[in-house]
């Protein structure tokens, strides 16, 4: 079960990376595309908690850092998506999340992820990054993520939940 779950999650991450690079630029706005990888991490963290979210975020981010055509410092998305996994995993967990909670979590996670990524760029002195650019990309990225979140996040959460080991209902 665990191996199957890991496999499905890895497959989702791989699919997200490929679609994000090859399909979405055709529908993106001014080059800003929805970050599918981030949504996969949010889905994983919401269904399985912060512990899983942190590890998944780090691994997915690392893959995003290394897959072509990425050329930024390796580790930036890893740290950003790790923060995303942590934030999404710490959402109120005393009851099942409602759809609005899921969407707000996705928006907050997208904001956190894009901000951490952008700010790491500013800190490491990436020459192309001005603070205004970061703000614009963050806002546009959050909007894009929110648009695709219902299409990606909800089915993914149902899928991942199927592989969750059954617990006794409270």
Partner 1 sequence: MALRTPLPPSLGDLGNRPSGRRTRPHWDRRRWPLAVSWGPGDAAERRPPRLLVVALVVAGLSLMTLDQVGGDDSPVDPVRSVVGEVVGPLEVAAGTVVRPLAAIPDFFTTRGSLRDDVAALEAENAALRDELATSDLDRSRLEQYDGLVAAARDQQGSIVPARVVAHGAAQTFTRTVTIDAGLTSGVRPDMTVVAAEGLVGRVIAATSTTATVLLIVDSDSTVGARVGRSSEVGFLSGNGSLTDPTRLDLELVDASAVPAEGDVVLTWGSAEGQGPYRAGVPIGTVTQLFSTPRDTTQRAIIDPFVDLSRLDVVGVYVPEGTASDRAVIGPDGEVR
87 binds partner 1 (CB under 8 A): no
Q: Which is nearer to partner 1, 39 or 86 (CB)?
A: 86
Return the residues of window 129-168 that contact partner 1 according to CB under 8 A. 129, 133, 137-138, 140-141, 154, 157-159, 161-162, 164-168
Given 19, 107, 119, 143, the residue binding partner 1 (CB under 8 A): 19
Residue 39: CB atoms within 10 A of its CB come to 26
CA 21, 58, 43: angle at the middle one, nearest 5? Answer: 70
74 binds partner 1 (CB under 8 A): yes
105 binds partner 1 (CB under 8 A): no
Kindly give the residue spans of alpha helices, DSSP state H, lying in the chain.
2-22, 36-48, 50-66, 76-89, 99-123, 131-162
Burial class (CB in 10 A: 0-12, 13-18, 19+), 123: exposed
67 binds partner 1 (CB under 8 A): yes
Given 12, 39, 41, 102, the residue binding partner 1 (CB under 8 A): 102
Q: What is the total count of residues that contact partner 1 (CB under 8 A)?
A: 84
Residue with tokens 């850092």: 65
Question: CA-CA distance, 59 to 82, in Å (whole number)?
Answer: 8
Given 10, 70, 107, 119, the residue binding partner 1 (CB under 8 A): 70
Q: How far apart are CB 99 and partner 1 at their closest, in Å?
A: 5
72 binds partner 1 (CB under 8 A): yes
Given 9, 12, 16, 33, the residue binding partner 1 (CB under 8 A): 33
Q: How far apart are CB 64 and partner 1 at their closest, in Å?
A: 9
119, 48, 107, 45: which is closest to 77 by C-alpha? 119
Q: Which is nearer to partner 1, 63 or 112 (CB)?
A: 63
């Amino acid at each position: 079960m665990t191996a199957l779950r890991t496999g499905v999650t890895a497959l989702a991450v791989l699919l997200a990376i490929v679609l994000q690079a090859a399909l979405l630029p055709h529908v993106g706005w001014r080059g800003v595309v929805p970050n599918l990888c981030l949504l996969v991490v949010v889905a994983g963290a919401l269904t399985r908690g912060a512990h899983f979210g942190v590890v998944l975020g780090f691994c997915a981010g690392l893959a995003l850092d290394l897959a072509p055509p990425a050329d930024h410092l390796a580790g930036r998305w890893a740290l950003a998506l790790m923060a995303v996994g942590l934030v999404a995993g710490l959402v109120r967990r005393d009851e099942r999340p409602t759809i609005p909670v899921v969407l707000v979590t996705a928006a907050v996670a997208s904001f956190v992820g894009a901000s951490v990524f952008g700010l790491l760029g500013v800190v490491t002195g990436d020459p192309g990054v001005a603070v205004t650019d970061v703000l614009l990309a963050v806002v546009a990225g959050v909007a894009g993520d929110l648009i695709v979140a219902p299409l990606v996040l909800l089915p993914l959460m149902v899928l991942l939940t199927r592989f969750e080991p059954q617990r006794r209902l409270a």
